[in-house]
A and B are shown apart, each in its own frame.
Chain A
Amino acid sequence: MIAFLRLLARNRLALWGGVVLTIVVVLALITPLLPLADPDVTNTAERYKKPFSDGALLGTDHLGRDLLSRLMWGTRLSLAVGFAAAIVAATIGAAIGIVAGYYGGRTDNIIMRGVDMLMAFPYILLALAIVAALGPGLMNALIAVAAVNVPFFARNIRGITVGIAHKEFVDAARLAGMSDARIILTEILPNVVPVIVIAMSTTIGWMILETAGLSFLGLGSQPPQADLGSMLGEARSALITNPHTSIVPGVMILIIVMAINLLGDGVRDALDPRLKSGALSRPMPATLVDRKQVPDAIGDGILTIDDLQTQFHIKNRVYKAVGDVTLSVKPGECLGLIGESGSGKSVTALSVMGLVASPPGVITGGAVRFKGTDLVGAPYETLRSLRGNKVAYIFQDPLATLHPLYRVGDQLTEAISSHRRIGKAEGRAKAIELLKSVRIPNAESRIDSYPHEMSGGMRQRVGIAMALANDPDVIIADEPTTALDVTVQAQILALLNDLRRERGLAIVFITHDFGVVAQLCDRVAVMYAGRIVEEGRTDDVLDAPAHPYTKRLIECVPELGGGRRILAAIPGLPPMVDRLPDGCAFADRCDKAAPACRVGDIALVATGNRAVNRAVRCIDPEPAPRTEAAQ
């Protein structure tokens, strides 16, 4: 509760709303104690006095009644009716919703059908019908407004209750022999109260507006008693000659409802955990860059990544997703980037074209050079013209990565038309050709399919076709086969391999599977906790892993016909990248960890022949397994 209030108070707008609302409510409460004129005493000699005149701070109305006094009493009445309607609606609606959600089955069905019927009305028709039946009057207006809002609460609360009614603690209560009534009161109700509060805070402003509206129409409070709505209604005839009589109550309604809405938004944000982490920020067109200096080019190749650092800044935490990664890939070469989930391999790949979601992502250092041009911090248009054109991506899980509402043919054509003009017929022909090049059968008809109409393997092929659309020089494939079964995976890998040989593509292939690396990649870099821990030719690394982590990772791969070998899972979890330990990040999970492993920075050191780019980040690398090599 205290945390909730603190969170609410941090929201400045909500705080203002709360303060204003409190002032209005307090004033309304103490109205009878204030030295105000009698709101109902008429004095026709003093009609329509302007505001700030003697004896009447806000002037007088058409019957010479003091407007300030009427405003205060009217506010009191409007607030009372609005809150009462909200409480009545919430109580009845929640009761109906809990009963429907808790008992389910036929009870639920009948109740919810009725609720749906009520919701089929534009709300005011229902309110008008109720007032027509009961007759005009403030009490009847209150009933009408409350009744109209009951279905809203009932439906909301039912949804929540259904979710709770099948939880373990409710089953436990039932097994303990508690009665339904007791379960509802002690187990269900406390859990739906926050939802009721949210629903009330977002609707109470509406209810005040609606009751004011009915009064404005002459169907609510009856003279001489007046709430804000009927004050406005009475003032309407003098709108042109004496606008102040309308403005005074109108502005008051505006202030009240606005304060309630601000506070309500604050309550909703504070209670809705999804909004807490700032998860609802949208990623910008390109990743933010905040870099101190540009490093010199280290590697050579068509695409080089030098000392890249990408971080996520969430609240006060800094997650170092990528720390000083240096990689390069040449035309026709396939570079594997391997590591566990969260090792930073995808973030590395997305950083290349500035596709890391930002906020919260920030590239804080390093350079990414395509044919010598630095892309980090390059103007958006430079990045855009290269994206998909020279450097293309293939993503994992194509059901999520293809647009669900466009035909795959249109999505393919768009990849081309984003970079050069292309006619409709030509685009279609090219799309068919692309689908054929990734061996999709019946490409002519498949082109008009939506992604959800295709199988996972087909969608992945579409993803690859899209990457090939502009004959790129580099393809960055981010776990393109992870979601697929083994036979399809093998086909896709063979396809990528062919394309690389035919077109001289450079491929950066990201995976967590050494089996896949062995099939496709010339070289491999192993990532752990955002850093490269080992790098070298695929055969070399597979035959003689130098870093303990690499060794353990290779041991995780089951071998067909390998006999009854125990698969050695690596114990423990990778460290959180916002609290990286000193020294080696793998030390906590490493058998060979020594005190020296936890001190200072451990460099990536080149080992063996410089021509094969072999390097390892370990002070005690694994010895080459000569015995096995000799076999």
Chain B
Amino acid sequence: MAGYILKRLLSAIPVLLGITIIVFLIMALIPGDPATAILGSYATPENVAKLNRDLGLDKPLVNQYFIWLGNMFQGDFGQSFALNRPVLDEVLERFNATLILAGTAFVLCSLFGILAGVVSAARQYGFADKAITFIVLLGISIPSFFLGMMMILLFAVNLRWLPVSGMWPIYGDRDLGALLSHLTMPALALAVVATGVIARLSRSAMLEVLRQDFIRTARAKGVPERGVIWRHALRAAMVTIIPVLGIQAGFVLSGAVYIEMVFQWPGVGRMLVDAILKRDILLVQGGVVFVAACYVMFNIVVDVAQSLLDPRIKT
């Protein structure tokens, strides 16, 4: 098992390098001169040349890439000029908030999605199946940011059950209760789309498995139907569901950008959008590389989970 984990970690290295190359190439597309962008249009040519030299922008692209990569290895993601603080510090702080939001949403969508899919498959064409199918369709069709706004209207403005936005109360204790009350709406709004996708997939995975011969064997043994569904069928269906959970984690992370905007959640997504609007390129670069790297690592965890679940995978 340890060998397998090591193998997966090693195989992640080229992917991580590829990510840095792609991000670097995209940023190299930026029209115009970054130094001019930083110094403003009234900068003297001498100052622009000096800044270019300081930033290493006068060197060939390949050299620039390796300097940037080397610095990142040493934990130096550069300095955000809009915030005037190290990119890494800002990203780590913001990522924390995103992790709480996206992590909760991910747990919610995995649980509800699989549950809905299993019930739907077990009651195929029944009332529960039709109801779930309809709700799922609604869920995957509604823009999460619109859903978030409607939730604010209903639960925060009209019913006054939950706070409108933010991660912490402006006044008052920063305790778990306060966090949960602020987290509920954004996490639910974020989970809805992924729940729909996971439910759909779980349903078809379950239907596929329920037709297999080993399900008939379980029934022939006299296993109660509940055991057939939850122990036999779901266990086998998980082999197809788990990789999808990995993919959906990426969608949850993506959707977090919108949800953070709607709910004023101080996460990395809002940071990126602000940085783009302020043309704070280093912050965008660092944020994207960092989050993408975390996502790659998460997918290794998914693979390992998969190999634990399926003894047929050679580890």
A113, A243, A279 pick with most chain B CB within 10 angstroms: A243
The answer to whether A385 has its CB under 8 Å from any CB of chain B is yes
Stretch from B48-56, B60-68, B77-85, B205-213 at the A interface: B205-213
Q: Which residues of B contact A469 (CB under 8 A)?
A: 221
Q: Which residues of B contact A387 (CB under 8 A)?
A: 219-222
Q: Which residues of A contact B217 (CB under 8 A)?
A: 393, 395, 401-403, 463, 466
Give the contacting residue for A384; candidates B14, B212, B224, B299; CB below 8 A: B224
The answer to whether A30 has its CB under 8 Å from any CB of chain B is no
Q: Given A120-B296, A232-B146, are A419 and B222 also a contact pair (CB < 8 Å)?
A: yes
Give the contacting residue for A285; candidates B225, B251, B288; CB below 8 A: B225
Cβ-closest chain B residue relative to A356: B216
Q: Which residues of A contact B222 (CB under 8 A)?
A: 384-389, 415, 418-419
Stretch from B108-116, B169-177, B178-186, B255-263 at the A interface: B255-263
Q: Given A282-B210, A385-B222, A466-B221, are A246 and B292 also a contact pair (CB < 8 Å)?
A: no
Interface readout for A172-216 with B: 1 if CB under 8 Å, 0 if not?
000000000000000000000000000000000100010011001
Contact B262 A125 (CB under 8 A): no
Q: Which residues of B contact A169 (CB under 8 A)?
A: none
Q: Given A122-B250, A122-B253, A129-B288, are A380 and B225 also a contact pair (CB < 8 Å)?
A: yes
Size class of the contact patch on chain A: 35 or more
Interface readout for A234-261 with B: 1 if CB under 8 Å, 0 if not?
0010011001001100100110011001
Contact B19 A414 (CB under 8 A): no
| C-alpha gap A568/B224 in the complex (Å) | 47
The answer to whether A532 has its CB under 8 Å from any CB of chain B is no
Q: Which residues of A contact B253 (CB under 8 A)?
A: 122, 124-125
B64 to chain A, nearest CB (A): 15
| C-alpha gap A564/B71 in the complex (Å) | 83
A481 to chain B, nearest CB (A): 17
A413 to chain B, nearest CB (A): 11
Cβ-closest chain A residue relative to B280: A132
Contact B124 A120 (CB under 8 A): no
Contact B224 A125 (CB under 8 A): no
Contact B258 A213 (CB under 8 A): yes
Contact A232 B220 (CB under 8 A): no
Cβ-closest chain B residue relative to A397: B213
B141, B149, B217, B223 pick with most chain A CB within 10 angstroms: B217
The answer to whether B8 has its CB under 8 Å from any CB of chain A is no
B97 to chain A, nearest CB (A): 16
Q: Which residues of B contact A355 (CB under 8 A)?
A: 216, 219-220
Contact A239 B149 (CB under 8 A): yes
Contact B137 A125 (CB under 8 A): no
The count of residues in chain B whose C-beta lies closer than 8 Å to any C-beta of chain A is 85
Cβ-closest chain A residue relative to B309: A405
For residues 259 through 315 of chain B, which have their beta carbon under 8 Å from a beta carbon of chain A?
261-262, 269, 272-273, 275-277, 279, 281, 284-285, 288, 291-292, 295-296, 299, 309-312
| C-alpha gap A5/B164 in the complex (Å) | 48
Q: Which residues of B contact A603 (CB under 8 A)?
A: none
Contact B214 A257 (CB under 8 A): no
| C-alpha gap A397/B212 in the complex (Å) | 12
Q: Which residues of A contact B257 (CB under 8 A)?
A: 124, 128, 213, 217
Q: Which residues of B contact A239 (CB under 8 A)?
A: 149, 152-153
Stretch from B23-31, B39-47, B86-94 at the A interface: B23-31
**Majority DSSP secondary structure for residues of A touching B:** helix
B264 to chain A, nearest CB (A): 11
Give the contacting residue for A120; candidates B125, B152, B279, B292; CB below 8 A: B292
Contact A415 B221 (CB under 8 A): yes
A147 to chain B, nearest CB (A): 9
A380 to chain B, nearest CB (A): 7
The answer to whether A305 has its CB under 8 Å from any CB of chain B is no
Q: Which residues of B contact A27 (CB under 8 A)?
A: none
For residues 321 through 365 of chain A, which have their beta carbon under 8 Å from a beta carbon of chain B?
350, 353, 355, 357
Interface readout for A115-149 with B: 1 if CB under 8 Å, 0 if not?
01110111111101111111110000000000000
Contact B157 A418 (CB under 8 A): no
Cβ-closest chain A residue relative to B196: A261
Interface readout for A355-387 with B: 1 if CB under 8 Å, 0 if not?
101000000000000000000000010001111
Contact B214 A217 (CB under 8 A): no
The answer to whether A280 has its CB under 8 Å from any CB of chain B is yes
The answer to whether B227 has its CB under 8 Å from any CB of chain A is yes
Q: Which residues of A contact B288 (CB under 8 A)?
A: 121, 125-126, 128-129
18 examples of A-B residue contacts, CB within 8 angstroms: A116-B15, A120-B296, A121-B295, A122-B251, A123-B251, A130-B26, A132-B272, A209-B143, A236-B262, A281-B207, A282-B211, A389-B222, A392-B221, A393-B220, A395-B216, A397-B213, A401-B217, A418-B223
On A, residues with C-beta under 8 Å from B are 113-114, 116-118, 120-126, 128-136, 205, 209, 212-213, 216-219, 229, 232, 236, 239-240, 243, 246-247, 250, 253-254, 257-258, 261-262, 279-283, 285, 350, 353, 355, 357, 380, 384-389, 392-393, 395, 397, 400-406, 414-415, 418-419, 450, 452, 463, 466, 469
12 additional contacts, CB 8 Å, given A116-B15, A122-B250, A262-B137? A121-B295, A133-B27, A133-B30, A236-B149, A282-B122, A353-B220, A384-B225, A387-B220, A395-B213, A401-B216, A405-B310, A450-B312
Give 9 closest A-B pairs by Cβ, nearest first.
Answer: A117-B18, A124-B254, A250-B146, A282-B210, A258-B141, A388-B222, A388-B221, A387-B222, A122-B250
On B, residues with C-beta under 8 Å from A are 14-15, 18-19, 21-23, 26-27, 29-31, 121-122, 124-125, 137-138, 140-143, 145-146, 149-150, 152-153, 157, 164, 204, 206-208, 210-225, 227-228, 232, 235-236, 239, 250-251, 253-255, 257-258, 261-262, 269, 272-273, 275-277, 279, 281, 284-285, 288, 291-292, 295-296, 299, 309-312
